[in-house]
Amino acid sequence: MKFSDFFRRKSSGTVAKDRLKLVLVSDRTNCSPDIMEQLKNDIINVISKYVEIDTDELDIKITQTEMEGTSEPVPALFANIPIRNMKIH
């Protein structure tokens, strides 16, 4: 992935879909859309140091899950990050 890939233009439909996902996730987890976007960008930046990833197929979300020993759901981070190539340092 090239640095310029982060700044390429997306269709308005794609942008709207991404924003809706962030709003839904933030409602479920009490995490603001701004924090979710920062978290996603930080994860992308760190992983991109080591591997080339497919940002078009990237899926990072926070959902609710059951944790053993508790009766209430807890937030969980799920990431599906397709790797194109390993970077050699």
The answer to whether 42 and 54 have CB atoms below 8 angstroms apart is no
Mean pLDDT to the nearest integer, 50-54: 91
One-letter identity of residue 4: S
Distance CA 73, CA 89 (A): 41
Average per-residue pLDDT for the chain? 76
Residue 27's pLDDT band (cuts 50, 70, 90): low
Residue 23's pLDDT band (cuts 50, 70, 90): low
User: Which of these, 89, 84, 78, lies nearest to 28 by C-alpha position?
Assistant: 78
* Adjacent-strand bridge partners of 61: 78
Residue in this structure with the two tokens 């050699």, named with its chain if needed: 88
Question: What predicted TM-score, i.e. pTM, was given to this entire model?
Answer: 0.55
Mean pLDDT to the nearest integer, 31-37: 75
Q: pLDDT tens digits, residue range 63-87?
A: 778 878 877 777 778 889 999 998 8
pLDDT at 52 over 80: yes
